[in-house]
């Protein structure tokens, strides 16, 4: 049922994200908000992360776990060895994913991973057109409302699509349907480079729109410029479009091209 291009795209990116138009709830971790006091002010936290389950393990061997020691052991300790493809679930794409000499996850300091969060809402057009992309006009519209995109930001696409709903339906889709999912347009990416953005993020499973794969123009140019991406976010509809902070919590694994992450918004 899958052609070579499908397999390449799925192996590389987890899966395309063809959605149901509704917010992803299948893998929510509840409660997904927290609130606490810092310097006498209330700090709000929102989890932007899908629970990391077999639902993301579209291709065999992408995610497995074996007990090194079970809880039945004398001392009562359980622990597992986890085997996982780096680009599974809500995850970070490090520059090295497409740049052989680029930074690995282990090379990325927190100053790159905790940054201003900008959310560009394309739900209206993505609900009608599964090839919808973040275009320069969408960035201009955001800036008209909120001011210039702050330097060093992570700019996130809110398409409203649900990667898990898509995966459940994947087998029943035509090859043409499978290649349709929203993403960043290359011209919008160019504009974000001029704004000195550090990261781009999507609620689908690919920075590139489905119809651009497997050429990956956005992955190629963005990651090779030393920037990073986040794929498979959720809850972006509940985060502030402007004024918040994103933190991508990834274990700093030496040599890794990507890593499953715990991504939060602070505001």
CB atoms within 10 A of CB 10: 20
Supply the minimum distance, in Å, between the C-beta of residue 124 and its own copies: 29
Give 78 or 140: the residue with its C-beta nearer to its own copies: 78
Q: Is 53 in the site for its own copies (CB under 8 A)?
A: yes
Buried-state track 54-77, b at ≥16 Cβ within 10 A, e below 16:
ebbbbeeebbeeeeeeeeeeeeee
Query: Is residue 183 at the binding interface for its own copies, with CB under 8 A as the rule?
Result: no
Cα separation, 5 vs 265, in Å, equals 34
Binding part of the chain for its own copies, among 7-15, 137-145, 157-165, 167-175 by CB under 8 A, reads: 7-15
Dihedral-angle region of residue 21 (phi above 0 means left; psi in -120 to 50 means alpha; beta otherwise): left
Using CA atoms, how far apart are residues 57 and 122, in angstroms rounded to an integer?
27
Backbone torsions φ then ψ of 171, nearest 5 degrees: -65, -25
Q: Which of 122, 189 has the CB closer to its own copies?
A: 189
For residues 137-156, which are near its own copies according to CB under 8 A?
A: none
Structure tokens at 106: 């282990």
- The pattern of x and - marking residues 80 through 99 that bind its own copies according to CB under 8 A reads xxxxxxxx-xxx----xxxx
Min dist CB 59 to its own copies, Å, is 9
- Shortest Å distance, C-beta 22 to its own copies: 21
In the complex, minimum distance from the CB of residue 250 to its own copies, in angstroms, rounded to a whole number: 5
Q: Which stretch binds its own copies (CB under 8 A): 74-82, 177-185, 187-195, 204-212?
A: 74-82
Q: Could you say which residues in the range 193-212 bind its own copies, by CB under 8 A?
A: none
- Report how far residue 94's alpha carbon sits from residue 77's, in angstroms, rounded to the nearest whole number: 34
Per rule CB under 8 A, count of chain residues that contact its own copies:
84
- Segment 234 to 263, residues that bind its own copies, using CB under 8 A: 243, 245, 247-262
Instruction: Name 38's Cβ contacts closer than 8 Å, sequence gap at least 6.
Output: none
110 binds its own copies (CB under 8 A): yes
Cα–Cα dist 204/167, whole Å: 11
């Amino acid at each position: 049922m899958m052609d070579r291009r499908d397999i390449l795209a799925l192996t590389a990116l987890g899966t395309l994200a063809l959605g149901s138009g509704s917010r992803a709830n299948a893998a929510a971790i509840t409660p997904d908000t927290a609130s606490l006091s810092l310097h006498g002010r209330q700090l709000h936290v929102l989890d932007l992360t899908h629970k990391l389950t077999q639902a993301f393990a579209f291709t065999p061997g992408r995610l497995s776990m074996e007990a090194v020691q079970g809880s039945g052991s004398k001392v009562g300790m359980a622990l597992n060895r986890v085997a996982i493809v780096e680009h599974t679930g809500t995850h970070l794409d490090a520059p090295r994913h497409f740049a052989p000499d680029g930074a690995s996850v282990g090379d990325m300091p927190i100053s790159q991973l905790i940054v201003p969060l900008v959310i560009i809402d394309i739900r209206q057009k993505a609900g009608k057109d599964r090839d919808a992309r973040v275009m320069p006009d969408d960035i201009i519209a955001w800036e008209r409302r909120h001011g210039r995109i702050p330097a060093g930001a992570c700019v996130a696409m809110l398409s409203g699509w649900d990667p898990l709903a898509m995966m459940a339906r994947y087998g029943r889709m035509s090859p043409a349907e499978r290649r349709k999912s929203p993403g960043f347009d290359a011209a919008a990416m160019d504009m974000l480079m001029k704004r000195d953005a550090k990261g781009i993020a999507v609620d689908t499973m690919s920075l590139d729109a489905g119809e651009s794969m497997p050429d990956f123009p956005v992955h190629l140019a963005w990651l090779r410029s030393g920037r990073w991406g986040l794929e498979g976010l959720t809850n972006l509809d509940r985060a502030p479009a402007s004024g918040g902070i994103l933190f991508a919590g990834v274990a700093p694994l030496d040599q890794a091209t990507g890593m499953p992450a715990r991504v939060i918004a602070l505001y």
